[in-house]
Amino acid sequence: MGDTDALLTAWLGTTAARHIPRDHAAPRALVHAVNPAYTRWDAEALPALQAGLRLARHAKAHFMLPGNVYNFGEAMPPLLAEDTPFRPSNAKGRLRVEMEAQAARAAQEGAFTASVIRSGDFLGPGTGAWLDQAIVKSLRAGKLVYPGPLHLPHAWAYLPDLARAFVRVAPLANAQTFQNWHFEGYTLTGAELLDAIEAAAGSLGAAPASGFHRGGMPWGLIAAIGLVYPLWRELAGMSYLWRVPHALEGRHLAALMAGSPAVTPLPLALRDCLSALGHGALATPVRA
């Protein structure tokens, strides 16, 4: 397993690779959930991807890449199908298109399967996403912040549901193929999401007696500060995602998962998220 161990280290880094048992078998599927810091995408995203592809080629494993909607750009249509053309409008979108193209070429040349499962923004019990970093960041103070107009639809994916989709797709490994799947998840207007968050907070005893105050993101200020603060510059460059309505059409993946729940009911998903973030009386997440 020496070659595989070396490739694992190249893909994950020395520290993360140490957590892989030394007697591990060659992987049958690799989920490339490697996400560099937002300001380091240009330098790190493609080398990390290429390391993962080398490991997949060596192991003849199914390489699975979580995708997003950056590929479609600011002029994207309101419904995004698996064959909707890519028209990226900034560097991050172009990088995402290149990542998927490299995965497709590597699969064809190396006789392994590569798949992209594309979804909207993440909802989940962890941290580091829009939910905890902005929307419910000030929930204890009675404030909810939504980054865009409240009447526009936006695509979301609850991470445990998305993980089940990856598990279902993983065995579909056919040599020299590239597969593109869309995970539909939830399509919610800002008002629908905030209403559901308020209801979930209320069910957990985390709603203020006077109700919630709703606010927005100061995108003009963020863009101005971005002139000297790289992270805010990167965020401002993606702000169109909140101004352009979009949803994912995922009938092929839904058909593949027939017989199993496609999505967790939104109230349960949000209770899980808020509870895991420490809101309310429940000490552990609520599961569907």
pLDDT of residue 257: 87
For residue 166, what are the domain limits?
2-276
Asked if residue 283 belongs to a domain, the reply is no
- 47 part of a folded domain: yes
82: closest CA among 183, 179, 180?
180
Segment 17-66, tens digit of pLDDT: 455 555 556 678 999 999 898 889 999 999 999 999 999 999 899 999 99
Q: What is the pLDDT of residue 27?
A: 77
d(CA 262, CA 75) in angstroms, rounded, equals: 28
* Inside any domain, residue 98: yes
Residue 177, CA distances (Å) to 33, 64, 103, 142 in order: 20, 12, 10, 50
Count the neighbouring beta carbons within 10 Å of the beta carbon of residue 33: 11
263 touches 159 (CB < 8 A): no
Beta partners for residue 123, in sequence order: 158
Q: Is residue 232 included in any domain, yes or no?
A: yes
| pLDDT of res. 175 | 63
Low-confidence ranges of the chain (pLDDT < 50): 1, 17, 283-288
Is 287 contained in some domain? Answer: no
Side chain identity, residue 175: A
Alpha carbons 94 and 89: distance in angstroms, whole number:
7
Give the pLDDT of residue 111: 83
The pLDDT assigned to 87 comes to 98
Provide the pLDDT for residue 110. 84
CA distances from 182 to 37, 196, 287 (A): 25, 24, 24
Supply 177's token pair. 């193929």
Which pLDDT belongs to residue 1?
Answer: 45
User: Residue 74: phi, psi to the nearest 5?
Assistant: -70, -20
Q: Is residue 285 part of a domain?
A: no
The domain total for the chain is 1
Question: Is position 288 within any domain?
Answer: no
Task: Give the pTM.
Answer: 0.89
Residue 89 lies in a domain: yes
pLDDT at 35: 87
Chain centre to alpha carbon of residue 136? 18
CATH classification of the domain holding 193: 3.40.50.720
Residue 208: per-residue pLDDT: 92
Distances (CA, A) of 97 to 37, 69, 88, 100, 101: 18, 10, 8, 5, 6
Residues 195, 210: Cα–Cα separation, whole Å: 15
